[in-house]
Amino acid sequence: MKTFIKKFKIFNFIFEVFTSVSENIFLKISTISKLLLNLKIIRRLAFNLQPRNKHILLSTNYGMYVINTNSRIIGKKSYINNIPYSANSVKKVFEILTKENIFFDYFIDIGANIGTSCISASFINEKIKFLCIEGSDENFYLLQKNIIINNLESRFELHNSLIGNKDNLRIFVEFKEEKGCSSIFENHEELERYKREFGYEVDSIKEVKTQKIEEILKIDFNKKLFFWIDIEGLDLEILNSEITKNKHPVFFEFNPTFYKLKLINYQNYLEKLEIELMEYGYEYYFLEANKFKKEKIMKGFLTHTSALLGENKSATNILLI
């Protein structure tokens, strides 16, 4: 009996040592695995190895997102960086607005895509509400899905609409490489210029009529509103609307290459817009390409930014207040 107890103690000791060593080994393996999975090069490889046109779930500090592996810009960058596309820009813009004592009740996301900007904003500021406009049916489906999985239905109002200030018939085009680059073109000639410039392959084309923002959103434009605009070259068109006439803070994409393809004399258009913005009362702008430095709005600020970026596909974002 004593011999059995002695053997049992030895066996128990060996088992405890084995268990302890195993736990330490597996803990280290787990830690190393997490570190490897957080390496951008590994995440890039993991994304590239996924089948095309597959929906995958991304969990971040700014919510969860269903993304499509066909999305080679918004989806891919969100996955590789493990942070929603534009989330850092949202955070920085909110910090600027707070510092400038500018507060708002509604975040209006025009060209919301799958929700990376607006949903990130909802985690940064839990009090504001959201009005989102997205023209692509596929993006709108994922936007709805992402709102639901983050339990944000009570704070969001969604519109599957195409926005613009013109009433004429135009064409809405979605591209195979990136649904986030879906855009409205005046005609097929403009589309061909765009395809030659960017090399995208068309996925679908349909004739559409755009709606003005005041037709889509049934909201009092005298309320405290903030506009986030990214609609692939139509940004300038809708800036001259109730948005700027009421001097709401605006954050929009600025891309001279788009304007070159859409407008014959876009520099003249920029000069006209500069005058209108100053007349509406805008005083300062913050250029993301210039690390959001606060600068005085004056004649030439948009044409100067255009010259700074050039017409070789470079773009930036601008905050107006």
CB 62 within 8 A of CB 84: yes
Distance CA 195, CA 105 (A): 39
CA 33 to chain centre: 29
Q: What's the pLDDT score for residue 181? A: 82
Per the listing, tokens 């395809």 go with 195
Report CA-CA distances (Å) from 236 to 231, 244, 274, 291.
10, 11, 11, 22
Q: What's the pLDDT score for residue 35? A: 54
Q: What's the pLDDT score for residue 240? A: 81
Q: What's the pLDDT score for residue 308? A: 92
Using alpha carbons only, give the angle 49, 89, 166 rounded to the nearest 5 degrees.
95
Bridge-based pairing of strands 63-68 and 106-110 is: unpaired
Which phi and psi angles does 317 have, rounded to 5°?
-125, 150
* Positions of the chain with pLDDT lower than 50, given as ranges: 4, 8
CA atoms within 13 Å, Cβ hemisphere of 242:
17
Q: What's the pLDDT score for residue 4? A: 47
Quick one: fold of 47-320? Rossmann fold (3.40.50)
Q: Determine the 3-state secondary structure of 83 from DSSP.
A: coil
Select from 108, 240, 218 the least CA-distant residue to 166.
240
Q: Which are the contacts of 43, defined by CB distance < 8 A and separation ≥ 6?
A: 37, 79, 80, 81, 82
Residues in the chain: 321
- Residue 209 CB neighbours (<10 A): 12
User: In the chain, what are the domain boundaries?
Assistant: 2-38, 47-320
Q: What's the pLDDT score for residue 261? A: 86
